[in-house]
Structure 1
C-alpha cells in the first residue's frame, strides 16, 4: 500500500521539476534560441497580439521554469504561468484535438493548464528552496 504522506511530497516535486525543465526549454531553447526574440515577437504580432507579448511570454517561461526548478513561490508561479498555457490553448483550439495536427492541436496546452492547477494545489513538494527557507530548520511536510 502506498503511504501518501511519504510519497506525495516526492510526486509534487517530480511534477514541479518536470514542468520547470520543460518551461525553461520551451522559453529559452525554442522561443529564444530557435526563433529569437524578434522572431517570437513577430509571430505574436502575426497572430494579432501585441508583439511585446512574445517577450513577456519568453520571460515568463524562462523565469517561471527556473522558479519551478528551484522550488520558489511554486503555487504563485504555477498560477502565473496558467494564462500562458490558456493563451496557447486558445491559439491551438481551432486546429483540432491532437498536437500533431497542422498548427498543433489543443490537448497538449490543455494538459499543461491542468498540470499547473494541480501543481498550485500541491505546492512545491520535496527538495524545494521555499520549504527549507520557510521551515526555519524544521522539517515541513509537503510545502
Structure 2
C-alpha cells in the first residue's frame, strides 16, 4: 500500500513544463545575443562583421531589434509560436554564414552546429507551443 502524499507529474503537465523551459531558454538566448551585439561587439562592429560575410551592414539594426524584441516576447510567452517563426530565418542565415567553417562550433570562426541546433529548438518550440506561464497564446500559424 502506498501512503505517499507526493503527486506524480502526468505526461501533459511534464510536456507543458518542458515547452516552457524551451521557450524561456530560447528567449534568454535571443536577448543575450542581442545584448552581446550591442554591448560587446557594438552595432558598428557587428555591421562590419555582417559586411565581411557578404551581408549588408545596415541589416544589423533590424536583426538586433528582432533578437531583442523576439527574445523578450518568448520570455513573456507573448505569441511565442509566431515569434519563433519570425526568428527562424535569422538562424538559417547564421547557419549559412558558418557553413564554410565546418560543423563544430568551436572551429575557428565557428561552425554551423550551434545555429542549426537552435533552429531545431526553435522549430520544436513552434510545434510544442508555449507551455505554462505564457502571457498571450495564439493558434495562428500553429500546427493543426
Q: Same fold (TM over 0.5)?
A: yes
Q: CA deviation at 1:2?
A: 6.2
Per the alignment, residue 63 of structure 1 pairs with 69
Indicate the SS of the match to 1:113: helix
Query: Structure 2 unaligned runs (5+)?
Result: 1-7, 139-144
Deviations along 1:66-107, whole A, 9 cap, x unmatched?
000000011110011100001000011111111000010111
Q: Which has the higher helix share?
A: 1
Q: CA deviation at 1:46?
A: 2.0
Would you say the 8 A contact 1:40–1:55 is kept in 2? Answer: no
Structure 1 spans left out of the alignment, 5+ residues:
135-143
The structure with the largest alpha-carbon Rg is 2
Equivalence for 1:138: none
Equivalent of residue 86 in structure 2, options 77, 80, 84: 80
CA distance in 1, matches of 2:9, 2:113: 30
Q: Does 1:26 align with 2:30?
A: no
Runs of 4+ in 1 over 6 A off after TM superposition: none
1:105 aligns to 2:90 (yes or no) = no
* Equivalent-residue separation in structure 1 for 2:66 and 2:100 (angstroms): 25
SS in 2 for 1:130: coil
- Give the superposition deviation at 1:37: 1.3
1:92–1:104 contact (8 Å) kept in structure 2: yes
Larger mean Cα displacement after TM superposition, 34-43 or 110-119: 34-43
1:91 counterpart (90, 97, 111): 97
Q: CA deviation at 1:3?
A: 2.7
SS at match of 2:108: coil
Partner SS, residue 129 of structure 1: coil
Q: C-alpha root-mean-square deviation of aligned residues, in Å?
A: 1.4
Map of 1:116-127 to 2, 5 A cutoff? 116-127=122-133
Aligned residues: 131
Distance 1:25 1:43 in 2: 18
TM-score for both structures, normalised by structure 2: 0.86
